[in-house]
Amino acid sequence: MNVIEGKLRLHGSENIAIIASRFNHIITDRLVEGARDAFLRHGGKEENLDLILVPGAFEIPFALQKALASGKYDGVCCVGAVIRGSTPHFDYVAAEATKGVASTTLKYGKPVAFGVLTTDTIEQAIERAGSKAGNKGFEAMAGVIEMLDLYRAMEE
Ligand SMILES: Nc1c(NC[C@H](O)[C@H](O)[C@H](O)CO)[nH]c(=O)[nH]c1=O
Ligand SMILES: CC(=O)[C@@H](O)COP(=O)(O)O
């Protein structure tokens, strides 16, 4: 059996964007730092990494659409933090961010990661932004890197 899979490695010339929402920026700043760290640790170059900021997670798919349509990026890492409040707003924001990122990704066929936290509490978000449950921004960027390598392997 031939197993085709990507490895966690960059060639160094890849252009990657992080799209981050500013809402709950105390959390999303940490996710951006994690994503940047993953990019640099795996061989990416600082000058090839762009940070695109949007107001909230709802706007992430719109910026993603623009970024991919520009043809400038080999992959995109989306990060955000949607934290449940006391109304149903959470469900709408989280659902639109998820659906929008998934459908836009399918349209362009480039590696995109969904590092958007959807948590019930701020504590759960803190745990996933560089404390006891790791850093989901780092993990999301690792996903972009692996998928980039997988696509290369599938094209060989
Ligand atoms: N409550 C959260 C939001 N809400 C804002 C929306 O994302 C959006 O910016 C607004 O409705 C204007 O279109 N965004 C988050 O990222 N996280 C939240 O917890
Ligand atoms: C996820 C949200 O949109 C949330 O912050 C909104 O809070 P609320 O439902 O209390 O207005």
Q: Give 86-98 as a DSSP string.
A: SSTHHHHHHHHHH
Catalytic, 11? Answer no
Position 57 in a domain? yes
For the chain, helix, strand, coil in percent to 5 are: 50, 20, 30
Q: How far apart are CA 23 and CA 108, in angstroms?
A: 27
The answer to the question of residue 114 being in a domain is yes
pLDDT tens sequence across 78-92: 999 999 999 999 999
Question: Taking CB atoms and a 6 Å cutoff, what residues make up the pocket around ligand 2?
Answer: 82-87, 89-90, 93
> How is residue 31 written in tokens?
């996710």
| CA 145 / ligand 1 centre spacing (Å) | 27
Which amino acid residue places its CA nearest to atom 18 of ligand 1?
82
pLDDT in tens, 99-119: 999 999 999 999 999 999 999
- Total tally of structural domains belonging to the chain: 1
Q: Is residue 5 part of a domain?
A: no
pLDDT at 156: 81
CA distance 70 to 152: 21
Q: Is 128 assigned to a binding site? A: yes
84 is in an annotated binding site: no
Note the pTM of the prediction, 2 decimals: 0.97
7, part of any domain = no
Query: Is residue 3 domain-resident?
Result: no
In a domain, 41, yes or no: yes
> Can you give the pLDDT at residue 76?
98
**Ligand 1 pocket, CB under 6 A:** 21, 23-24, 55-59, 80-83, 89, 93
What pLDDT, in 10s, does the model give residues 116-154? Answer: 999 999 999 999 999 999 999 999 999 999 999 999 999
Neighbours of 23 (CB within 10 A): 18
Amino acid, res. 50: D
Task: Give the tens place of pLDDT for each residue, 24-77.
Answer: 999 999 999 999 999 999 999 999 999 999 999 999 999 999 999 999 999 999
Structural domain span for residue 72: 16-155
Confidence at residue 60, expressed as pLDDT on a 0 to 100 scale = 98
Q: ipTM higher than 0.85?
A: yes
What CATH number did the domain enclosing 127 receive?
3.40.50.960
Ligand nearest to the CA of 58: 1
Determine if residue 86 is labeled as part of a ligand binding site. Answer: yes
Examine residue 2 and state whether it is found in any structural domain, yes or no.
Answer: no
- In-domain check, residue 29: yes
87 Cα nearest atom in ligand 2: 9
